[in-house]
Structure 1
Amino acid sequence: MFLTGAEILIKSLLDEGVDTIFGYPGGAVLNIYDELYKYREKITHILTAHEQGASHAADGYARATGKVGVCLATSGPGATNLVTGIATAYMDSIPMVAITGNVTKQLLGKDSFQEVDITGITMPVTKHNYIVKDVNDLQRIVREAFYIAQEGRPGPVLIDIPKDITAAKAIYEPIVPKKIERRTKYITDEALETVAKLINESENPFIYAGGGIVAAGAYEELKEIVNKINSPIATSLMAISSFPYDHPLYTGMIGMHGSKVSNILTSKCDLLITLGARFSDRVINNQNHIKNAKIIHIDVDPAEINKNIKVDAFIIGDLKIVLQKLILLLKEKKNDDWIKKMNELKSLSIKETSETGELTPEFLFRKLSELDDGSFVLSTEVGQHQMWAAQYFDYKTPRTFISSGGLGTMGYGLGASIGAQMALKDKTVFNIAGDGSFGMNCNELATAVKNNLPVKVIIVNNNSLGMVRQWQNFFYEGRYSSTTLNRSTDFVKLVEAFGGKGYRVFEKEELVPVLKNALEYDGPVVIDYVIHNDKKVFPMVAPGAPINEIICEEDV
């Protein structure tokens, strides 16, 4: 059948199983929005307050479900407003398809009104991008874009469509999406046997699991290998929630703000087993920090092997498949002395909890964890509150921690929480924010209220840009340049102005009743949780320092 480009686009999205799009209309995408109106019973369009909010919402939708998140914007500034969200998804390997309109083909390259070379701009932060110059290519391109976004190491793909392409006509035939096959081409018996030999011979193995575990859905395989070889395990920020928080071999997060146990064991192990992680500079950025260990790296992306850290053995392939095959070659191990060492470090790291009247991040997340019946999902902005959310909340199921890791995007969390809440209607989504981050994209409260999304925002309010202030305290002799906010914003009145509900917490005894009230309220809530601006994130490893040179609260 002959259809317009706009009709082909919407039908192709339906072929791919798309049920939700986050976006903002404009002149170059009017034909697309006209078709969305006609198909509004099949595809829900969420009008965000800003295009950046749309890209973060698509990202949050994808992280919460593992499906492709979709966002849509017009040409020029509409398209460029998506770029931060696209880059966020790229850095954390999140499947997303971003669709942008552009001026008509004859106006391209002429500095036309609201024209920008969005494919040129996004080339470094997409897995692939397209500009559609022939309507006959549109259906194929949409199909390819969704495949590329999901296959192998996931990531964002951009499709730029000039306005005349959305009006032109071509033949459309319904096509079943190409099945996503797990990458197994380079999983060889030789590589498996080499890795298995190193693991079987090790006496002090340590597992460092990254976001690849989440992307591959390799949760059960990870537990099986941990239990079989009796190895302590730490997760990167991107793998938080992928492994049971209460497992006796779990040592918490690894890296700059990782647990003391995780960081010390990394420096003491004789074998570091790295699964779906990329040796970020916020985790391990110097070979000398782990010079006593042999290193195994298993990852789906060959470009990551030996990129940041030289390894002794590696396997390239889908983590779920690799671990399934590897487990069969591994011997059951006890590692009694090593486990004893881990437990000693754990006991020494137990911190006395203060029951004074002062509000603390620990208290917040302890009470939040106690109320969680397994239905809570936490998104975060970026900063101290993000680290506290990673350190102190008890995540009970996978894909319940949604956060910008690689790019560290302030203003990410509220949009992401909207995307997650749209995807997980039976869950309760909390956005953990700092007062600085929240100020960047708080306009998305309008989106939450308009769509009656019961997102609960907790602002850990320290009247400062807390993480930057912490660095100024440690490394700049306390010169707090532009990090003390001293704003007069009343967050309770702000959310009420948008049409939501607001609470403020100054005392410990106020917190649980406020949380319960927030949970009972069927709509967006903002809780202003006020803490002291000198509260810091511990432990901490200084930038560039060895991973076992840990700054603890008692050291300061």
Structure 2
Amino acid sequence: MPDSTRAEATRSAAALLVDCLAVQGCERIFTVPGESFLAVLDALPDRPEIDVVTCRQEGGVTFMACADGAMQAAGSGRPGVAFVTRGPGATNASIGVHVAHQDSQPMILFVGDVARGMQGREGFQEVDFTAFFSPICKWAARIDDPARIPEYIARAYSVAINGRPGPVVLALPEDMLVEQVPTSLQPRPFVTRTAQAACPDAMQALFDLIADAASPIAIIGGAGWNAKAREYFQQFAERIGLPVATAFRRQDAIAPDSPVYAGNLGYGPGPRLVERVKSADLIIAVGARLGEATTDGYEVPTLEHPGQLLVHIHPDPEELGRVYRTDLALCCSVDEFAECAALWEDAGIIPFDAGGEAHREWLDWSTPQPSDATIDLAACVSAMRAALPADTIICNGAGNFAGWWHRYWRYAAYPGQLAPTCGAMGYGVPAAVAAALRFPERTVVAVAGDGDFMMNGQELATAAQYGANMIVVVVDNGAYGTIRMHQEREYPGRVSATQLSNPDFAMLGAAYGAWSTRAETTADFIAALDDAKARSGIRLIHAVTDLNRIAASGATITGLRARAKATA
């Protein structure tokens, strides 16, 4: 007979947590180590299938995890995973949580916390993480009972990937992590995304609206968008000639060579596209939240446009009707909707000519024109298109510099664009590191402004440590250019706090082990690009540009100043 007095085998709560992550398909963790979760660090070597990437700042950690979640969302749908310590570590990491939330990207952040007996005393680095993170994530909680770790991890994955994807934050008291739990306590099974089918009656209503429309347009990309959604929605739109615009920084949501692709909304869209959206009698928004950036401050389209109908397809019911008057709302997975639309019988719809017209307008807008600029960024982007593979992943943070790539690059691959819709600076370099590790066979380019690069450029050390292959283009105009642009519009000639004194970025790149060079002319840039593409590892091009040429739209500082003074 078995010995009932024999002690049951145990393991640490931290080991159970790591086992739960492995069962959920976690392949990579980004971290800056902290003493508050030493037990987790100790347990990770026992799970060699989980790659641990040590970063240099917690903002870089969560930017990488956010980007990793975005790339996995395109296929497997698994969230990016990050670990940081309490207090300063967590507050540094909060920027990536905010980006993941506004970008609708799945991510799980674990925060080492003070011991349970210390809570509520404002102990060393103590923060109420549930209160701190709740406004900028889908769910924030603390695991106080180690026996509930399987429950919390399974729920974290379910919350992060279902509905509108987004970030989850779990605090881990350090004393909880070292408690022993019986080995009979096992992880919960692999969590999958719940498919939400489109309502057939709503689909028929949509096709009736399309059949009655004279000038419809679709705005796509966002929550839950993936390769399946891209493939099927493109089939549907091309079959009926529906013009398709992408939401802000969702330009890889449809192939750029699709004959119905109309360009991207957001900052600096084509003027003809803006007019097309304003004059549309039917707008079909799929996945997009129709946030401030995509709609140019809720003006394209306007909040209440007489004679304009809105169909909104989104996986989160709370998003439907939240800002815009919605005439037909479909709460469903965007990939399920796209497949249904592609296969729907639509004999009553006469194909539109507008899709082809809109695509030709976009081609005109996105084709560089001759310029007398010493270093012409439009020509530089054109040279990149000629030199680099079509499936290159372009990563950028925030700043006017990104407008040249948004306008002139063709985001042919999926995923092919990693860029924060919430306008966070410093995202590009960490995202490129994550992309280079996720897709080592693809070309990865980080594009950063001078101010943008200095936010998280130290993650080049992470890239070097893990052998990441990536090209970095630092666009240096010696200023916080976007703010200077607004400054000239509102307070012409009164320059304040926007000038920058920069390092030699080529030398800085070399210090991290990068091959690097400086480009002051278009010819310099093209030569540097040819050299860079023949090499491996980190390659950095320091592109020195003219501050006066402030935007891809053609705006200049002198022009903005003159117009502002003329209307003062």
Is this a same-fold pair by TM over 0.5?
A: yes
Instruction: Identify the residue that residue 402 of structure 1 maps to in structure 2.
Output: 418
**Which whole-Å CA distance do the structure 2 matches of 1:364 and 1:36 have between them?**
44
Kept in 2, the 8 Å contact 1:207–1:232? The answer is yes
**Which whole-Å CA distance do the structure 1 matches of 2:208 and 2:401 have between them?**
41
Instruction: List aligned pairs for 1:89-108, cutoff 5 A.
Output: 89-108=100-119
Instruction: List aligned pairs for 1:132-281, cutoff 5 A.
Output: 132-171=143-182, 172-184=185-197, 187-212=198-223, 214-215=225-226, 217-281=228-292
Structure 1: state its 5+ residue gaps. Answer: 542-550, 552-556
Instruction: Identify the residue that residue 73 of structure 1 maps to in structure 2.
Output: 84
TM-aligned CA distance change 1:75 to 1:192, over 3 Å: same
- 1:35 aligned partner, one-letter code: A
Kept in 1, the 8 Å contact 2:368–2:378? The answer is no
**Which whole-Å CA distance do the structure 2 matches of 1:384 and 1:330 have between them?**
42
Instruction: Identify the residue that residue 54 of structure 1 maps to in structure 2.
Output: 61
Structure 1 residue 215, shift from structure 2 partner = 4.4
Which fold has the larger relative contact order, with Cα–Cα distance below 8 Å and residues 6 or more apart in sequence?
Answer: 1
Instruction: Identify the residue that residue 338 of structure 2 maps to in structure 1.
Output: 323
Kept in 2, the 8 Å contact 1:22–1:57? The answer is yes
Structure 1 residue 379, shift from structure 2 partner = 0.6
Alignment partner of 1:372 is 2:388 = yes
Instruction: List aligned pairs for 1:281-320, cutoff 5 A.
Output: 281-284=292-295, 285-286=298-299, 287=302, 290-320=305-335
Per-residue displacement from partner, 1:54-93 (whole Å, max 9, x unpaired)?
Answer: 1111111112222311110112211221111111101101
TM-aligned CA distance change 1:334 to 1:355, over 3 Å: same
Structure 1 residue 521, shift from structure 2 partner = 2.6
Per-residue displacement from partner, 1:500-552 (whole Å, max 9, x unpaired)?
Answer: 221111122222331132223321122111111011325499xxxxxxxxx9x
Structure 1 residue 349, shift from structure 2 partner = 4.8
Match of 1:82 among 87, 90, 93: 93
TM-aligned CA distance change 1:213 to 1:169, over 3 Å: closer
TM-aligned CA distance change 1:213 to 1:94, over 3 Å: closer
The count of corresponding residues between Structure 1 and Structure 2 is 536
- 2:65 aligned partner, one-letter code: A
Kept in 2, the 8 Å contact 1:241–1:398? The answer is yes
Instruction: Identify the residue that residue 6 of structure 2 maps to in structure 1.
Output: none
Instruction: Identify the residue that residue 546 of structure 1 maps to in structure 2.
Output: none
Match of 1:118 among 107, 114, 129: 129
Alignment partner of 1:537 is 2:551 = yes
Structure 1 residue 96, shift from structure 2 partner = 0.5
Q: After the TM superposition, which of the residue ranges 353-362 and 188-197 deviates more from structure 2?
A: 353-362
**Which whole-Å CA distance do the structure 2 matches of 1:430 and 1:276 have between them?**
26
TM-aligned CA distance change 1:134 to 1:455, over 3 Å: same
Per-residue displacement from partner, 1:378-419 (whole Å, max 9, x unpaired)?
Answer: 1101011222222111111111100010x2110111111111
Match of 1:430 among 426, 445, 455: 445
Kept in 2, the 8 Å contact 1:257–1:540? The answer is no
Match of 1:128 among 119, 139, 149: 139
Kept in 2, the 8 Å contact 1:60–1:418? The answer is no
**Which whole-Å CA distance do the structure 2 matches of 1:527 and 1:198 have between them?**
50
Match of 1:45 among 41, 46, 52: 52
**Which whole-Å CA distance do the structure 1 matches of 2:513 and 2:365 have between them?**
44
TM-aligned CA distance change 1:292 to 1:349, over 3 Å: farther
Structure 1 residue 289, shift from structure 2 partner = 7.4
**Which whole-Å CA distance do the structure 1 matches of 2:103 and 2:238 have between them?**
28
TM-aligned CA distance change 1:83 to 1:490, over 3 Å: same
TM-aligned CA distance change 1:149 to 1:394, over 3 Å: same
**Which whole-Å CA distance do the structure 2 matches of 1:365 and 1:317 have between them?**
37
SS for the counterpart of 1:420 is helix
Instruction: List aligned pairs for 1:449-468, cutoff 5 A.
Output: 449-468=464-483
TM-aligned CA distance change 1:6 to 1:348, over 3 Å: closer
**Which whole-Å CA distance do the structure 1 matches of 2:61 and 2:307 have between them?**
46
Kept in 1, the 8 Å contact 2:215–2:281? The answer is yes
**Which whole-Å CA distance do the structure 2 matches of 1:177 and 1:80 have between them?**
30
Per-residue displacement from partner, 1:123-148 (whole Å, max 9, x unpaired)?
Answer: 11111122011110112111111121
Kept in 2, the 8 Å contact 1:435–1:464? The answer is yes
SS for the counterpart of 1:384 is coil
Alignment partner of 1:363 is 2:379 = yes
Kept in 2, the 8 Å contact 1:31–1:167? The answer is yes
Kept in 1, the 8 Å contact 2:261–2:355? The answer is no
Instruction: Identify the residue that residue 521 of structure 1 maps to in structure 2.
Output: 535
Structure 1 residue 19, shift from structure 2 partner = 1.6
TM-aligned CA distance change 1:508 to 1:350, over 3 Å: closer
Identity, in percent, stands at 25
Kept in 1, the 8 Å contact 2:16–2:187? The answer is no
Instruction: Identify the residue that residue 26 of structure 1 maps to in structure 2.
Output: 34
Alignment partner of 1:381 is 2:397 = yes
Instruction: Identify the residue that residue 335 of structure 1 maps to in structure 2.
Output: 352
SS for the counterpart of 2:506 is helix
- 1:317 aligned partner, one-letter code: C
- 1:383 aligned partner, one-letter code: G
Instruction: Identify the residue that residue 499 of structure 1 maps to in structure 2.
Output: 513
SS for the counterpart of 1:252 is strand
Q: After the TM superposition, which of the residue ranges 416-425 and 320-329 deviates more from structure 2?
A: 320-329
**Which whole-Å CA distance do the structure 1 matches of 2:535 and 2:234 have between them?**
37
SS for the counterpart of 1:410 is coil
- 1:135 aligned partner, one-letter code: P
SS for the counterpart of 2:433 is helix
Kept in 2, the 8 Å contact 1:88–1:409? The answer is yes
Structure 1 residue 115, shift from structure 2 partner = 1.6
**Which whole-Å CA distance do the structure 2 matches of 1:387 and 1:147 have between them?**
35
**Which whole-Å CA distance do the structure 2 matches of 1:202 and 1:128 have between them?**
40
Kept in 1, the 8 Å contact 2:393–2:443? The answer is yes
TM-aligned CA distance change 1:211 to 1:498, over 3 Å: same
**Which whole-Å CA distance do the structure 1 matches of 2:313 and 2:554 have between them?**
27
Structure 1 residue 292, shift from structure 2 partner = 3.6
Instruction: Identify the residue that residue 472 of structure 1 maps to in structure 2.
Output: 487
TM-aligned CA distance change 1:353 to 1:105, over 3 Å: same
TM-aligned CA distance change 1:345 to 1:429, over 3 Å: closer
Kept in 1, the 8 Å contact 2:30–2:55? The answer is yes
Structure 2: state its 5+ residue gaps. Answer: 1-8, 556-562, 564-568
